[in-house]
């Protein structure tokens, strides 16, 4: 985080500071970070199926002989906000653009981002911060995360942490609890 450039920062789902993400090869973030791997996996399906699967499965690790899209089953619950209209609008956009750019920007380019941010790695995040997470977010099950958030680790790494808001919902808390998330964000950024 560049405290010299960023006055305030809100994070939804992904914790601030020194918390380490899973390193297992089957973790979706690590799989999506291998150039071309997710694109090959996704190419087996239309964009609507890929998006629906992604929104449903963000809580599992793939085995050595599995791809991420293989993890979804017909018995997986569909979030109440994941309507056919939502999928239609989103999938039409991805049908035109593909998934390569968002995957590259978010996952494949992490090493470049790490290099660019090297001077600020392991420094406290001194900007005003707000952390919003869903009560049932799979990220909260990462080993050590709840202890990091509630046991003082995040406050140590983010001394100007204004609030940790735990709202009803999962990883896509902004979809599960849109009014609450918007209210928190508006109040935070007005201060």
What pLDDT digit, counting tens, does each position of 75-95 carry? 777 888 889 999 999 999 989
Residue 146 is encoded by which pair of tokens? Answer: 């709840």
> Is the Cα dihedral 40, 41, 42, 43 positive or negative?
positive
pLDDT at 1 over 70: no
pLDDT at 180 over 90: yes
Which range among 5-9, 43-47, 68-72 shows the weakest confidence by mean pLDDT? 68-72
Mean confidence (pLDDT) of the chain: 84
Choose between 184 and 145: higher pLDDT.
Answer: 184
Per DSSP, 43 falls in state T
What average pLDDT does range 93-114 have in this prediction?
Answer: 75
Q: Judge whether 175 and 79 are in contact, CB under 8 Å.
A: yes
Which range among 60-74, 81-95, 96-110, 168-182 shows the weakest confidence by mean pLDDT? 96-110
- pLDDT bracket for residue 67 (50, 70, 90): confident
DSSP H or E stretch at residue 174:
helix 173-176
Which candidate, 67, 29, 73, places its Cα nearest to that of 53?
Answer: 73
Give the alpha-carbon dihedral of 157, 161, 165, 171, to 10 degrees.
-40
Tokens 């942490």, residue located? 161
- Helix residue ranges, H only, 13-82: 28-32, 37-42, 47-57
- pLDDT bracket for residue 8 (50, 70, 90): very high
Q: For the full predicted model, state whether its pTM sits above 0.95.
A: no
For residue 112, the Cα-to-chain-centroid distance in whole angstroms is 19
47-57 and 84-97 helices cross at what angle (nearest 10)? 120
Looking at residue 43, its pLDDT comes to 92
What pLDDT digit, counting tens, does each position of 15-25 carry? 876 666 777 77
pLDDT at 146 over 80: yes
What pLDDT digit, counting tens, does each position of 29-57 carry? 777 778 888 889 999 999 999 988 888 87
């Amino acid at each position: 985080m560049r405290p010299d450039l960023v006055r305030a920062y809100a994070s939804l789902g992904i914790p601030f500071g020194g918390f380490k993400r899973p390193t297992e090869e089957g973790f979706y973030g690590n799989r999506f970070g291998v150039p071309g791997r997710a694109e090959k996996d996704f190419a087996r399906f239309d964009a609507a199926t890929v998006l629906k699967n992604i929104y449903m499965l963000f809580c599992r690790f793939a085995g050595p002989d599995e791809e991420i899209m293989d993890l979804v089953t017909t018995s997986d619950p569909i979030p109440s906000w994941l309507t056919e209209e939502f999928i239609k609008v989103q999938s039409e956009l991805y049908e035109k653009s593909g998934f390569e750019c968002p995957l590259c920007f978010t996952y494949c380019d992490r090493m470049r981002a790490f290099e660019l941010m090297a001077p600020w790695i392991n420094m406290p995040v001194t900007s005003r911060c707000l952390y919003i997470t869903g009560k049932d977010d799979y990220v909260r099950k990462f080993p050590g995360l709840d202890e990091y958030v509630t046991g003082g680790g995040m406050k140590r790494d983010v001394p100007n942490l204004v609030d940790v808001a735990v709202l009803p919902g999962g990883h896509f808390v902004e979809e599960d609890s849109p009014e609450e998330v918007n209210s928190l964000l508006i109040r935070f950024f007005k201060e």
